[in-house]
Structure 1
Amino acid sequence: MLTPSSPSSPINSSLNAAVEAIEHAEFTPESSELGRWFHGRGHCYPGLEHLNIDWLPPVMLITLYQAESQERLQPLVDAAMAKGVGKVALQHRYQRGGPIDWLLGESLTELVVTEQGLKYGLQLGRSQNHGLFLDMANGRQWLRQRASGARVLNLFAYTCGFSVAAVAGGARTVVNLDMSKGALKRGQQNHQLNDHDLRGVRFLPHDLFRSWGKLRKSGPYDRVVIDPPSFQRGSFVATEDYQRVLRRLPELLLPEAELLVCLNDPTIAPDFLIELMQQHCPNAKYVERLANPDSFPEQDPNRALKVLHFHYQAD
């Protein structure tokens, strides 16, 4: 992996670091293993804070958070072609809906990728997010390793990546809750891609704050994942709503439980979640912060994805 520039490095807006990342990335045309090839959003590469590059086989996806000319991006396409990549897509995340242009190869909207041996279906060009958050890979693996025989609650489930990992790890039951029926349907399809038995898996398309009764009836749980959007008006605002969730957690838990509490807001440090838990669910003690994947270097760890492990023990 490339070594990020130090914070004191002079600003350099050339694409050399991104080109080198493509050239050094592990790649075989036959592999379906996805991954991040370049993470500019971590502010480790001065001048490239607006650029990420992901390998979503068979597509190299360039994501921009501010406008760039296609001419300036051509070295990235050239590096991909030299490596044997046949499809390059460009997503404009600074535009509403995150539209996609194709810089190389024919367009592709549906693809199946692999992460740690598990399959996930992705969609390109239909919405801002393609269906799997790559920086959460260690969180999914953490749950998979601790799911055997567990009763799992997956809040803000999106396309059920945590659920897929839990079932692969031998979970007894999994309850997925998300307001989006479409996302949960894609989650169901992700399970089917892995030939999972869904008799112990539930998909609840509900508003969390109106669904405590349903969750209690399906519980109690000894593994809980809370991975909400940072700011989604009408659904969840972290600074206002996280305490509402933590306050009622004990209603849903077995006397001993493991919690994975997550937040991806660069303006909020991990202490926010630790202090909220102390205040609103004091029987849950902070254990550790999970490391993010090495392919997501960050100049300031407080800005990176927060994935915190708590251990709950009832009085």
Structure 2
Amino acid sequence: MKKCHVGPETIRMLELGHPWVLSDRYTKQWPVGESGELIALVDDKNHHLATALYDPKDRIVARVLDHNKIQLTVEWLEKKLLQAKLLRLHARLDETDAYRWLNSEGDGLPGVTIDRYGDYVMLQLYTSGWDIHLDLLTTAVQKVFQPKGIYRKLRPQETRALEAKRRTKEYSRLIAGKPAPVPLQVQENGLNFLVDLREGLNTGLFPDQRRNRQEFSARVAGKRVLNLFAFTGAFSVVAAASGAQKVTSVDVSAKYLDIARENFSINRINPKRHEFVVGDVFTELAKMQAQKRRFDVILFDPPSFSTTSKSRFSTHGGTSKLVSATMPLLESGGLLISSSNHQKVSMDDYMKELRRGALQSGDQLKTIFTSGQPEDFPCSVSFPEGRYLKFVISVKNQ
């Protein structure tokens, strides 16, 4: 195992428990190695600090696997997966078979996530360093979770560019077991949703919003609900199933809203009693304002970045614009429910965006609830980068 010297700043971060080594002048002097190779991180006196997975072409040049000297074996991986599985006993997973079984750095396997979808699992790799260990990882997953099939998805760095150019239709492939039905029906908190494990960067359901959908469901009975960036309608289904008077779902993708209608139907909710609007969110908000439409609850959970023919959205700066555009449609005393998964925007900065938007519209917002990821997305206190999800419920002018 190659010895790779790290500088004083990296040593300090390792001592704090941070799992990453970022490329710097010290790492540029490391011996030549291959992606996926295990290396020993050492200080200037050659004292062993950690065993890490090497990825020389990545900004995160090494990811810590263990502070002891280890070999990457099926048995070692099994132990990590069993620890992760045990931790899920803290999660509320009644009537739920779609959730995260392994959360990368949060479960001690940086660069890997494993999501359960019914009897199948999705293995996502965020570094090419895991590629040469894929057989070991697959064997460990089969032993611990015993799925009917395992899909592998590589999460490239430039996901937004790939989605925009549509270079490929399929981002994942079956690497073990039997293929999943298309679509595959899964359950979350007693409701049914359709997912596709083959296509796109996302399956059609975001498990990290599961607990937030529960919180949302308790506040919408009898309400007029507007769901912006609705995607495949998970929040819309929850609203309708929880007794919302009418749910309006807006998304630029007709394909996603067709899936949303199917999600309504498989839960025995008539989609014709609700509204589905294909269009750019800001364009549709302007139309609704001109029509003097009003809602009791407005929800938005946009992608971190979104580009359409008419507008471009970014969480940083775009959130305030979105708040000011929604305020005229929200009744006084109504709820604005906002969310972002942008890792580089902290909760404090996100709250400033909400404040800026309220000031632009001349309204007041009072925050009554904040949340993040559920228990199956654990995050070490030494790894703040893992706390990416922000979910905020605010009351307008009350």
Q: Which amino acid aligns with 1:290?
A: S
CA distance in 2, matches of 1:302, 1:287: 24
Contiguous gaps of at least 5 residues in structure 2: 1-14, 20-49, 51-63, 67-71, 90-94, 163-167
Decide which of 12, 17, 28 is 1:7's aligned counterpart: 17
Instruction: Report which stretch shifted further, 259-268 or 278-287.
Output: 278-287
1:297 aligns with 2:378: yes
Give the TM-score of the pair, scaled to structure 1: 0.87
**Change over 3 Å in CA distance of 1:295–1:83 after alignment to 2:** closer
CA distance in 2, matches of 1:238, 1:144: 25
Q: Which residue number in structure 2 is paired with residue 163 of structure 1? A: 236
Instruction: Give a deviation string over 1:280-307, Cα, whole Å, max 9, x none.
Output: 2141112231242111112317842111
Q: Which residue number in structure 2 is paired with residue 91 of structure 1? A: 153
Give the TM-score of the pair, scaled to structure 2: 0.70
Q: Which amino acid aligns with 1:54?
A: D
CA distance in 2, matches of 1:6, 1:16: 26
What is the correspondence of 1:267-286 to structure 2 with a 5 Å cutoff? 267-281=344-358, 282-286=363-367
Instruction: Give a deviation string over 1:62-117, Cα, whole Å, max 9, x none.
Output: 11112223644434434424543221111112285562222221222420000000
What is the correspondence of 1:21-40 to structure 2 with a 5 Å cutoff? 21=83, 24=86, 33-40=97-104
Larger radius of gyration: 2
CA distance in 2, matches of 1:302, 1:107: 31
Q: Which amino acid aligns with 2:348?
A: D
Q: Which residue number in structure 2 is paired with residue 102 of structure 1? A: 174
- RMSD of equivalent CA atoms: 2.6
1:60 aligns with 2:118: no
1:310 aligns with 2:394: yes
**Change over 3 Å in CA distance of 1:8–1:16 after alignment to 2:** farther
1:122 aligns with 2:195: yes
Local SS of the residue matching 2:375: coil
**Do the aligned residues in 2 keep the contact of 1:18 with 1:76 (CA within 8 Å)?**
no
**Change over 3 Å in CA distance of 1:36–1:6 after alignment to 2:** farther
Q: Which residue number in structure 2 is paired with residue 266 of structure 1? A: 343
Instruction: Give a deviation string over 1:33-85, Cα, whole Å, max 9, x none.
Output: 21110101xx3355x32110011012111111122236444344344245432
**Do the aligned residues in 1 keep the contact of 2:317 with 2:353 (CA within 8 Å)?**
no
Contiguous gaps of at least 5 residues in structure 1: none
**Change over 3 Å in CA distance of 1:89–1:113 after alignment to 2:** same
In the alignment of these two chains, the number of paired residues is 303
**Change over 3 Å in CA distance of 1:8–1:269 after alignment to 2:** closer
Instruction: Report which stretch shifted further, 116-125 or 292-301.
Output: 292-301
Where in structure 1 do 4 or more consecutive aligned residues deviate above 6 Å?
none
**Do the aligned residues in 1 keep the contact of 2:125 with 2:154 (CA within 8 Å)?**
yes
Pick 1 or 2: higher relative contact order, CA cutoff 8 A, min separation 6: 1
Shift of 1:120: 0.2
Q: Which amino acid aligns with 2:392?
A: L
Q: Which amino acid aligns with 2:155?
A: R
Shift of 1:213: 4.1
Local SS of the residue matching 1:184: helix
CA distance in 2, matches of 1:179, 1:8: 39
Q: Which residue number in structure 1 is paired with residue 29 of structure 2? A: none
Q: Which residue number in structure 1 is paired with residue 210 of structure 2? A: 137
Shift of 1:148: 0.6
CA distance in 2, matches of 1:21, 1:54: 15
